[in-house]
A and B are shown apart, each in its own frame.
Chain A
Amino acid sequence: MIWKGLGLITNTESPIVVVLSGSMEPAFYRGDLLFLTNSASERYHTGDITVYKVPGAAIPIVHRVLETHDKVDTSMLVPAQRMLTKGDNNHVDDIELYNGIKWLERKHIVGKVRGFLPYVGYVTIAMNDFPQLKYALIGILGLLALVQRE
């Protein structure tokens, strides 16, 4: 309920994301938590950090906008934007990651990074990287439930 409410306010399908790769180091490391917004009336600028998902990609990517090209159309609230992104820690732009798409468009974008909280998301990564941890945690919780007096 809170998640959905937050999604409604920020206009994005996932208002909080965990950084999964090191391509934005030293700004963001694996496990850092990012807070997103995706206001429909706002255009993106170079230097903004976006989270985008192109068709065919398994996970969303967090990268910085390198180029924007706005086709100004008076009938629309916001211009049709074409964008190119790049990870701070990568040497080349993201064109290879777009699965054949030439430019990133607004519909591919999940949100703009607004806020940052370090490390907190690492729990989810740790559980993915070391499944034993997940089972250990479930085991401990189960044990506690049995041992504890009501």
Chain B
Amino acid sequence: MHNLYSRFNNLTALLSSCMMALLAAIALSSLVLTADPKGEVHITSVKVIPRKHASKKQDLAFVNFNITADLTPLFHWNTKQLFLTLEAEYTNTQGVKNEVVIWDRIVRRKEDAVVSVLGKNKYMFREVSASFKNVPPAHYALKYNVMPYVGALTYGEAGRTREPVAFPPRKSHV
């Protein structure tokens, strides 16, 4: 009855149950530890430049932006990292709703969570119809994804442009 094997079996069973309970408690705790930090998103300039790619014409938009946000409240004991994205949101002339990520950053430490970036788009910003001509102005929003050590992934928005930003007419050079 009380041989080595059954003792080992009981001990590991107890340890794994305790581990599961602890992990569940941590996962649940992050549902309570919420924060809603806000920052500022400013678009300093937008340019549209036509590119010829594989014999097809394709407009590319170049966006310069200035974002500031203090996201330190999002870091608690179950925050592994934040994934920040700056995205453009607009509806084109064909009624297609678009969300395009133009910049992202991974924040892994609380010390790096005060974000102040004067930057330009990291990813190509294209229109599905290939042209930004007559496309209505776009909103730009800074969003975050809180990624936990264990448990549920949560999402939020830290800021957006107050007024939509128009796409200017095409330019032939940068």
Task: Please state if B97 and A47 are interface contacts (CB–CB under 8 Å).
Answer: no
A120–B28 alpha-carbon span in the complex (Å):
19
Give the distance to chain B from A76, nearest Cβ to Cβ, in Å. Answer: 13
Binary contact readout B69-98 vs A (1 if CB under 8 angstroms, 0 otherwise): 000000000001101010100000001111
Task: Please state if A64 and B83 are interface contacts (CB–CB under 8 Å).
Answer: yes
Give the distance to chain B from A27, nearest Cβ to Cβ, in Å. Answer: 5
Query: Which residue of A is nearest B94, CB measured?
Result: A71
Task: Please state if B101 and A116 are interface contacts (CB–CB under 8 Å).
Answer: no
Query: Which residue of B is nearest A81, CB measured?
Result: B97
Q: Which of B92-142 contact A (CB under 8 A)?
A: 95-101, 106, 108, 123, 128
Q: How many residues of B contact A (CB 8 A)?
A: 29
Contacts of B100 in A (CB 8 A): 46, 66-67
Task: Please state if A88 and B106 are interface contacts (CB–CB under 8 Å).
Answer: yes
A70–B97 alpha-carbon span in the complex (Å):
5
> B147: which of A67, A116, A117 is its contact (CB, 8 Å)?
A116
Q: How many residues of A contact B (CB 8 A)?
A: 28
Q: Which of B124-172 contact A (CB under 8 A)?
A: 128, 143, 145, 147-153, 155
Binary contact readout B13-46 vs A (1 if CB under 8 angstroms, 0 otherwise): 0000000000100010000000000000000000
Inter-chain contact total with CB atoms closer than 8 Å: 75
Contacts of A68 in B (CB 8 A): 97-99
Contacts of A30 in B (CB 8 A): none
Task: Please state if A71 and B95 are interface contacts (CB–CB under 8 Å).
Answer: yes
If the complex has contacts A71-B96, A79-B97, are A115 and B83 also in contact, measured as CB distance less than 8 A? no
A107–B75 alpha-carbon span in the complex (Å):
36
If the complex has contacts A26-B108, A82-B128, are A116 and B87 also in contact, measured as CB distance less than 8 A? no
A114–B31 alpha-carbon span in the complex (Å):
13
A58–B83 alpha-carbon span in the complex (Å):
28
Give the distance to chain B from A80, nearest Cβ to Cβ, in Å. Answer: 10
Contacts of B108 in A (CB 8 A): 26
If the complex has contacts A26-B81, A26-B106, A64-B83, are A69 and B98 also in contact, measured as CB distance less than 8 A? yes
A86–B143 alpha-carbon span in the complex (Å):
17
**A–B Cβ pairs within 8 angstroms, 7 of them:** A26-B80, A47-B85, A66-B100, A68-B98, A71-B96, A115-B151, A117-B150
